Structure formats: C-alpha cells, structure tokens
C-alpha cells in the first residue's frame, strides 16, 4: 500500500467523515459533490454540535432529501458511525484546540483531521501537531479551505461553487496532484491544471499559518508514491523554509516524478522593507525565505520552475504533453458531464424561475388548486356549512368537532365580539354562572368588570 507510510490517509469513494459545527452550506456542498461523483453513500455521516440536543437536519441528495444526524457528544457520533475516519472541524479559533484534542482521543478510528479555523494561537497549533504526530493522525490546516480528491471526497468548501467544480472537471480524477498553502489559489490551480492537462488527481491546501499540521513534503511524498499520479505541482509562497526540504528530496532521488513549482510573493523584493502578506507565515525573515531564493533553489534541485506565474500553466502542459507522447501517461476517456439539480433559491436569484407565494403551516396549506384547513378543502367547509365554529375547530383542534361544540364556540364569539365594558361585564357574569357560582357572585363579577365609569343608572 503506497499510503502505508503517510499520516494523511488516501481518500477514496468510500471515505466518510463527521463535520464538527453546524455548517449547513459546507455540508450541502459536500453532498452535492458526492452525488456528482456518483458515490453510493454521502461522505458526511454525521455532524457534531455540543450546544444542542441530538436532532436531525435535512439536506438534498440529488433531487431527493436525506436526514443527517447531529450529535451533542463526540463519543456517541463516532460510536454510531464506525466507518468514519475523517473529522472536518469548523470550530472557531477559540474552541478548536479543545475539540481537536478531544478528537485525538479517538485516534484508533479517526486518521485525518481538517482544521478550517484561522487565527489559532501558534502555541496551541504546535501542541496539536505534537499530539497528532504522537497518535499517528494526519492534520490538514489550520487556516485551510481543506482539500479535494476528484471523484472521491471533498473537504468543506474546497473547489468553490458547483459550476466551478464542473468547469474544472473535479468530478473525475486526473493525473496531476498539487499542494498549496493558499486555499484561494488552490481554486486557481484547479482551473490551470484542468486547462493544461487531464485534470487534478488530488489537491490539498495545507494552510497559511507558520506551523501547519502537515507540510509540503508530506503530501508530495504521498503523491510521488502513488502510481496514479504522474505530475506533481507545488505552489509555495514567501516565508518559511519548507520548500528546501523538497529540494533535498529532489536531489536525493526521493521524489522521482516531474515537479512543477512556483513560490508566489516575488514582488516583495521591490519594497525597501519586509512585507507581511495575507497569511501569518507569509513573511520573509531572511534572504533564504524570499520567494526568489526559493524558486532558484527549486530550479537548481531539478524542479520545473517557470520564469513567472503566468507561464505556470504552460510548464504543466509541456510536461503533460511529453508524458502522453512517450506513452507513459494514457488519458482516461472523458465521462459525461454530470448534472446537479439547482436549488430554487439560487435559481430565483439568477432569474431562472418564478412562482407565486404560498403559505404553509400546520393548520393551512395554500399549495395546489384549493386552500385546505387541516386537510379539508375549503369547498367542503362551505358544503357542510361549518361556518365560523367549524373552521375554528379545524384550525385550533385540527379536527371537525360535533355540532354542539361548534355552536358553543360561536356563542362565545358573539358574546365577546363587542369589547365594550358593558358586554365584558355580561360576559364575566355568564362565565361565573357557568362555573356554578351563586347569583350574587355572578352579578358582582360582572359589575366589578364594568367599573364605576359605566354604571349610569
């Protein structure tokens, strides 16, 4: 098994996960991707949310609907779903440390944890990485969008909207595997690789923090040992020295497959001072950490480094065409482009559909050709002359009451219809009398309700 020596597991079409946090949009995106890839089961087995009791949330599975369980306790979620091996953690930077540490207690089952949160304190990140290494659990992140393996598994919102996934052909595997720090740039890589080769086999964004849970070398060695991967792609950036490990792997022959590499941030050299880019780790603390120095080192080690990022796709295409011509890479037949039903709210926002407003509740339903009250069409209400009392019985009691009950309801309405003080007094007198109070008590109840302002006789 080419994955045996690597901590981050090899995702397959049978990989299942739990999602920590109520991330409805991300989960729906993962299920849509699964359906597009023709998976037999949704990749999301359950969700964990410690701030509410166990319940279910409804999601779309193609044109059908499915219920995903939400558990309050992590232990219960893993116990009831023994096929889960991945945890996608959407907790904020305030609580991600404790939740990941708790997840690591289940290292016999969970083999990969994706940490999406940004701003995790570096001391906590290093402690998490140390504990995960001790328990042989792979970490992707923090500060990552996740990763994607076309045709198999998608972490969170990786790959963007469904139209972008279709355009980048992420619904089926290609021959190029990439690793990037930036999640946003990983989407750009999906597009570049699709346009210049047969597409992406797998892609991971390790995150922009200074101490990522997994590094470039971890994933590139994984890809290099995978016979389905023919081209490696690295998108590094200014700051840090992780790229030099890749240089050593190239020189020693540990990485044998063609590697197309580029470190972004070359513009930093035009500034007379050190520039902090968007990521926490994107700051050169010496000449070795500049993008230009790392690009040159990678080129000297044998990587294919273009002159600039605009030529990045051309470099991939040149290597890909060469492998195809030599016969070492045989592109798979292109499958039919899958179709995913569009949500009504999204279609309406795009101006593709329209429909009249409907009102639906537990007591009335405006859908269809005729309004219904608790399942009874309004035409039957008139045919049976249920009038006000009958309608109220359907609305309040969800069933048709006998005639004496509906007449009593109507009598009450007639008595209290006028909210003036005299009628209110009469009403209270009747109520007291019905409650079997004596005559004096009943009249007193009415007079006290009327008050002195209305006693004119």
* Token digits of residue 384: 């049976």
> What is residue 287's predicted lDDT score, i.e. its pLDDT?
75
Can you tell me the distance from the alpha carbon of 382 to that of 366, in angstroms, rounded to the nearest whole number? 17
Can you tell me the distance from the alpha carbon of 307 to that of 325, in angstroms, rounded to the nearest whole number? 25
User: 36 with 167: CB under 8 angstroms?
Assistant: no
Task: Kindly report the backbone phi and psi dihedral angles of residue 85, in degrees, each rounded to the nearest multiple of 5, phi listed first.
Answer: -125, -5
Instruction: Find the Cα–Cα–Cα–Cα dihedral 189, 194, 199, 204, rounded to 10°.
Output: 10
Verify cis geometry, omega within 30 degrees of 0, for the bond prior to 323. Answer: no
* Token digits of residue 127: 């402690």
Give the burial class of 156: count Cβ atoms within 10 A of its Cβ; 0-12 exposed, 13-18 middle, 19 or more buried.
buried
> What is residue 377's predicted lDDT score, i.e. its pLDDT?
84
pLDDT in tens, 182-229: 888 899 999 999 999 999 999 999 998 889 999 999 999 999 999 999
User: 156 with 90: CB under 8 angstroms?
Assistant: yes
SS3 per residue for the chain: CCCCCCCCCCCCCCCEEEEECCCHHHHHHHHHHHHHCCCCCCCEEEEECCCCCCEEEEEEECCEEEEEEEECCHHHHHHHCCCEEEEEECCCCCCHHHHHHHHHCCCCCCCEEEECCCCCCHHHHHHHHHHHHHCCCEEECCCCCEEEECCCEECCCCCCCHHHHHHCCCCCCCCEEEEECCHHHHHHHHHHHHHHCCCEEEEEECCCCCCCCCCHHHHHHHHHCCCCCCEEEEEEECCCCHHHHHHHHHHHCCCCCCEEEEEECHHHHHCCCCCCCCCCCCCCCCHHHCHHHHHHHHHHHCCECCCCHHHHHHHHHHHHHHHHHHCCCCCCCCCCCCCCCCCHHHHHHCCCCCCCCCCECCCEECCCCCCEECCEEHHHHHHCCCHHHHHHHHHHHCCCCCHHHHHHHHHHHHHHCCCCHHHHHHHHHHHHHHCCCCHHHHHHHHHHHHCHHHCCC
Q: Known catalytic residues? A: 279
Q: Alpha carbon 343 to chain centroid distance?
A: 16
> What is residue 1's predicted lDDT score, i.e. its pLDDT?
39
pLDDT in tens, 101-135: 999 999 999 999 999 999 999 999 999 999 999 99
Listed in sequence order, the residues at least 6 apart from 185 whose beta carbon sits closer than 8 Å to its beta carbon are 205, 235, 264
| Residues in the chain, total | 457
> What is residue 2's predicted lDDT score, i.e. its pLDDT?
40
Half-sphere exposure of 449 (CA within 13 A, CB side): 20
> What is residue 267's predicted lDDT score, i.e. its pLDDT?
67
pTM for the whole thing? 0.74
User: 206 with 181: CB under 8 angstroms?
Assistant: yes
Ordered mean pLDDT values, 10 residues apiece, the chain (457 residues): 60 96 95 95 97 94 93 97 97 95 97 95 95 95 95 94 92 96 89 96 93 94 96 91 94 97 78 54 64 94 95 97 95 89 80 72 64 81 84 84 88 68 73 88 82 48
Half-sphere exposure of 216 (CA within 13 A, CB side): 27
Q: Of 235, 243, 236, 240, whose CA–CA distance to 284 is shortest?
A: 240
Listed in sequence order, the residues at least 6 apart from 36 whose beta carbon sits closer than 8 Å to its beta carbon are 162, 165, 166, 171, 338, 340
Q: Of 61, 38, 40, 15, whose CA–CA distance to 171 is shortest?
A: 38
Half-sphere exposure of 317 (CA within 13 A, CB side): 10
Spatial strand order of the sheet with 376-377 comes to 364-365, 372-373, 376-377
Listed in sequence order, the residues at least 6 apart from 280 whose beta carbon sits closer than 8 Å to its beta carbon are 122, 143, 208, 209, 210
User: 424 with 451: CB under 8 angstroms?
Assistant: no
């Amino acid at each position: 098994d080419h994955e045996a020596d690597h901590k981050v597991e090899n995702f397959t079409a049978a990989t299942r996960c739990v999602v920590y946090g109520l991330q409805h949009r991300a989960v729906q995106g993962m299920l849509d991707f699964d359906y597009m890839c023709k998976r037999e089961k949704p990749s999301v087995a359950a969700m964990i949310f410690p701030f509410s009791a166990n319940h279910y949330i409804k999601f779309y599975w193609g044109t059908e609907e499915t219920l995903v369980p939400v558990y309050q306790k992590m232990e219960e979620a893993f116990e009831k779903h023994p096929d889960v091996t991945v945890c996608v953690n959407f907790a904020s930077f305030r609580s991600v440390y404790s939740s990941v540490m708790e997840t690591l207690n289940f290292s016999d089952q969970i083999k990969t944890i994706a940490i999406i949160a940004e701003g995790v304190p570096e001391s906590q990140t290093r402690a998490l990485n140390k504990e995960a290494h001790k328990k042989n659990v792979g970490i992707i992140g923090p500060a990552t969008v996740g990763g994607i393996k076309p045709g198999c598994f998608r972490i969170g919102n990786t790959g963007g909207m469904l139209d972008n996934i279709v355009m980048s052909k992420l619904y089926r595997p290609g021959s190029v595997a990439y690793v990037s720090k930036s999640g946003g740039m990983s989407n750009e890589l999906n597009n570049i690789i699709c346009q210049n080769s047969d597409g992406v086999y797998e892609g991971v964004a390790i995150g922009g923090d200074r101490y990522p849970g997994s590094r470039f070398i971890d994933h590139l060695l994984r890809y290099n040992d995978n016979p389905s991967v023919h081209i490696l792609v690295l998108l590094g950036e200014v700051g840090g020295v992780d790229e030099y490990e890749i240089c050593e792997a190239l020189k020693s022959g540990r990485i044998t497959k063609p590697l197309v590499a580029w470190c972004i941030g070359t513009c930093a050299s035009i500034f007379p001072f050190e520039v902090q880019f968007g990521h926490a780790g994107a700051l050169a603390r010496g000449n070795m950490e500049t993008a230009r120095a790392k690009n040159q080192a990678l080129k000297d080690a044998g990587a294919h480094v273009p002159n600039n990022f605009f030529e990045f796709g051309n470099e991939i295409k040149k290597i890909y065409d060469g492998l195809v011509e030599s016969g070492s890479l045989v592109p798979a037949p292109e499958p039919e482009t899958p179709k995913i039903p569009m949500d009504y709210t999204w279609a309406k926002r795009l101006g593709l559909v329209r429909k009249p407003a409907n009102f639906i509740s537990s007591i009335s339903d405006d859908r269809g050709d005729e309004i219904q009250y608790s399942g009874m069409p309004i035409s039957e209400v008139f045919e049976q002359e249920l009038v006000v009392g009958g309608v109220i019985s359907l609305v309040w009691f969800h069933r048709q009451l006998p005639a004496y009950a509906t007449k009593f309801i109507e009598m009450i309405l007639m008595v209290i219809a006028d909210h003036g003080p005299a009628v209110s007094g009469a009403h209270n007198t009747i109520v007291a009398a019905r409650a079997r109070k004596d005559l004096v008590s009943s009249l007193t109840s009415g007079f006290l309700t009327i008050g002195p302002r209305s006693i004119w006789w």
